[in-house]
Amino acid sequence: MRAVDLPRLVTRLAAALMALPGLTAPAASQTGANPSGSTAGAAMVVGVAQPLSGDLLVVGGARVRLLGIAAPVVGQMCKTRYGRDYDCFKLSADVLANLIGTQEVECRVVTTDRTGQQVGVCRSGGADLGAAMVARGWAFAYRSLELDYARAEAFAQSRRLGMWAGRVEMPWQYQSRQLRDQAKPGP
């Protein structure tokens, strides 16, 4: 069996998926935006973006978490369909970086989470970054907070895209398991 350069493959896959119709400009119902496009009452953050993870960006110096999605966390490993481990945290962040490229990012901050982190819908080149990450299989719809991306996740899962191509654990399940394992008494 030939060795696969996984990061190169992911970069090529992300570029190919960007070309798929319907993934670059989801309907307003998928973005949390109202049909008129009004941003009244929402704070806007615009600028050059740097992904910190698959669902967290620094945009113009401000940290913004993508609304309605959860991406793998630091240290989380996934398995390819052949059972090989890979760092899905890093690949998820890399896919988000590829989606943004050098384009400016615009985020409509709609809330803050329990830690005070800004949370919003971010777009780059007209594409909803949360929808794009979920539809490509590199983030999960966070249904307990937002149902907007459930269809995008079903799309990725049915086509075995991104992390769905192998074995993956939801980030909140991974974190919960890590906490349980840490709480176990030592030998």
* pLDDT tens digit sequence for 112-157: 988 889 999 999 999 999 999 999 999 999 876 667 799 999 999 9
Buried b (16+ CB within 10 A) or exposed e, 11-27: bebbeebbeeeebbebe
Region 100-108 average pLDDT: 96
Measured CA to CA in angstroms, residue 42 lies from 38, 69, 96, 129, 155 at distances of 9, 19, 23, 18, 30
Q: Is residue 113 part of a domain?
A: yes
Q: Which residue has the tokens 């979920």?
A: 134
Q: Provide the domain count of the chain.
A: 1
Q: Which residue has the tokens 């890093």?
A: 90
Q: Is residue 91 part of a domain?
A: yes
Q: Is residue 179 part of a domain?
A: no
Report the CATH number at residue 133.
2.40.50.90
Query: Where in the sequence is the domain holding 134, given as residue range(s)?
Result: 6-19+40-170
- What is the pTM (predicted TM-score) of this model? 0.75
Q: Is residue 30 part of a domain?
A: no
Maximum separation of any 2 CA atoms in the chain, in Å: 60
Q: Is residue 180 part of a domain?
A: no
Q: Is residue 185 part of a domain?
A: no
Question: What distance in Å separates the CA atoms of residue 135 and residue 128, rounded to the nearest whole number?
Answer: 11
Q: Is residue 31 part of a domain?
A: no
